[in-house]
Structure 1
């Protein structure tokens, strides 16, 4: 099974420039962006079978990824 892509540029292609701008100009956004992508990479590695873990741990990671994505989206959508 190939995991879905959840990187922010794939999730929100219409905000590509805004995401880039915030990564450069907003340290808080940049930290959250990196944390989101770290969690996303870990989820993908588990889903690809590179790492083994409990289902509970994977579900917790997915919830964390969703929470981070929601927070990042709020920051992205603000104009």
Structure 2
């Protein structure tokens, strides 16, 4: 669905405690989560405005978001 929020807490509510813990104790996790959240907001904004960028750029942004999300999820589930 276009414009959907993909923040970690929304997508992984069962990991909310772990997300909050890592945000406080792991600066690398916090920085990567901030980058992920900003990219997700940018993608949502573009989608809601009918993506005023070319398809290749949107695909690149979504691929980067997926890569960041996978890395963050791996860190969440391995700690």
Deviation at 1:2, TM superposition (A): 4.6
Gaps of 5+ in 1: none
Q: TM-score, normalised by structure 1?
A: 0.92
Given the alignment of the two structures, is residue 44 of structure 1 paired with residue 44 of structure 2, yes or no?
A: yes
Moved over 3 A (4+): none
Q: TM-score, normalised by structure 2?
A: 0.92
Gaps of 5+ in 2: none
Figure out how many residues of one structure are paired with residues of the other and give that number.
Answer: 79
Structure 2 match to 1:29:
29
Calculate the aligned-residue CA RMSD, in Å: 1.5
